[in-house]
Amino acid sequence: MSGLGGLNKSANGVVVGLVQLQLPVVATREQLAAQTQRICDLVGKARRNQQTMDLVVFPEYALHGLSMDTNPEIMCTLDGPEVAAFRAACVEHRIWGCFSIMEANPEGNPYNSGLIIDDQGAIRLYYRKLHPWVPVEPWEPGNLGVPVCDGPNGSKLALIICHDGMFPEMAREAAYKGAEIILRTAGYTAPIRHAWKITNQANAFCNLAYTASVCMCGSDGTFDSMGEGMFCSFDGTVMVEGGGRPDEIITAELRPDLVREARTGWGVENNIYQLYHRGYVAVKGGAQDCPYTYMHDMAAGRYRLPWSDQVQVTDGSGFGFAPPVRFYGGAGSHPLVPAPTPPVPDKERLKTLD
């Protein structure tokens, strides 16, 4: 049940809109400014489209397109004009927004970053994609973990980006930190269609969370993104599913209170709890150990597959990127990484937009 796409919003509901944004071509500062304005205009469309909408979500690459261009001239910063415009649009139209930017990184390749901005213009969540879609994407691996923030109407939100959603650990981390609605933004094209659907459903069911996922849509003359926004309920069923029409906004009402009820009240298939309480019928509290070799090995820095020596693609040279010569410094080690922007008092929020 989605309240007829959110038209019949309940007291505990959160209405989310997923924008199947037309895939743009952005290669210059002028095109970047034009696409920024287009996204802001669609924030307004979302509000006009549905007065009950709490959060509008734009896909990965909404601002930059799929060129994988790392030209510093079109990279963004948190204090740059593009983010300022998104913050102002959320204030003007009294709506939360989720946005995508390619973020400048003075020490290496840009980050593929996502922001959740509230209806007062404050950045509530700031995330850098942990798992770039290698070997195709050139982005620096993220170093901010998987943050969770308070969302509209008492909800808990997380954001993962595109390829992140193919790793069960990503959605599990988001849910472990309390996320009830897991947003997934993407630029995927048609070959990923089946994997897109089943992972969105699995991420929801395995973590008793809603997933709200959307891709870019249409063609830029080279690539064809698939759109296909979809909402999955916490039992893994598809609630609402979009098609391939560019700029269509797919909507649903989500009920975080029902997620909380399931997480505390379910016995059968309460998997995120039972992961650490396995066999609690036989032993008091269940077995509270870690029987997974890969977890121990990753934490110890010795993760290695039996076939690691046979893996043939280990850099981006096949897609025109020079092999890297620099090693990863580790999460949080970068001296120039800014902290996520904290909420500020209402009057101060508005001053920052002047």
Q: How far apart are the first and last CA of the chain?
A: 41
Predicted pLDDT of residue 329: 84
The verdict on residue 309 lying in a domain is no
156 classed as catalytic: no
Predicted pLDDT of residue 28: 98
The verdict on residue 274 lying in a domain is yes
The verdict on residue 307 lying in a domain is no
For residues 56-77, give the mean pLDDT: 97
Predicted pLDDT of residue 3: 75
Both tokens assigned to 113: 């970053």
User: In Å, what is the CA distance from 115 to each residue of 82, 107, 245, 261?
Assistant: 12, 21, 25, 28
The verdict on residue 141 lying in a domain is yes
By C-alpha distance, which of 198, 195, 184, 180 is closest to 234?
A: 180
Predicted pLDDT of residue 330: 67
For residues 318-331, give the mean pLDDT: 89
pLDDT in tens, 121-149: 999 999 999 999 999 999 999 999 999 99
Q: Are strands 55-57 and 14-19 parallel, antiparallel or unpaired?
A: parallel
For residue 352, pLDDT over 50 is answered with no
Q: Which domain holds residue 161?
A: 3-297+314-351
> Active-site residue among 162, 206, 215, 217?
162
Model pTM?
A: 0.93
Domain count, the chain: 1
For residues 147-172, give the mean pLDDT: 98
140 classed as catalytic: no
CB 180 within 8 A of CB 255: no
> Active-site residue among 129, 173, 215, 253?
129
Query: Tokens 């077995």 label which residue?
Result: 287
> Active-site residue among 60, 82, 137, 228?
60
CATH code for position 15: 3.60.110.10
pLDDT in tens, 180-200: 999 999 999 999 999 999 999
The verdict on residue 168 lying in a domain is yes
The verdict on residue 224 lying in a domain is yes
177 classed as catalytic: no
Question: By percentage, how much of the chain surpasses pLDDT 70?
Answer: 92
Q: What is the mean pLDDT of the chain?
A: 93
Which residues lie closer than 8 Å to 298 by C-beta, 6 or more apart?
none
CB 216 within 8 A of CB 66: yes
For residues 325-332, give the mean pLDDT: 78
The verdict on residue 306 lying in a domain is no
Both tokens assigned to 35: 């696409």
Model confidence band, residue 211 (pLDDT cutoffs 50, 70, 90): very high
Predicted pLDDT of residue 344: 40
User: In Å, what is the CA distance from 192 to each residue of 135, 195, 226, 248, 325?
Assistant: 15, 5, 9, 20, 30
CB 76 within 8 A of CB 101: yes
Question: By percentage, how much of the chain surpasses pLDDT 90?
Answer: 91
Both tokens assigned to 222: 């080279």
For residues 96-120, give the mean pLDDT: 97
For residue 347, pLDDT over 60 is answered with no
Predicted pLDDT of residue 348: 46
Query: Tokens 């309940």 label which residue?
Result: 10
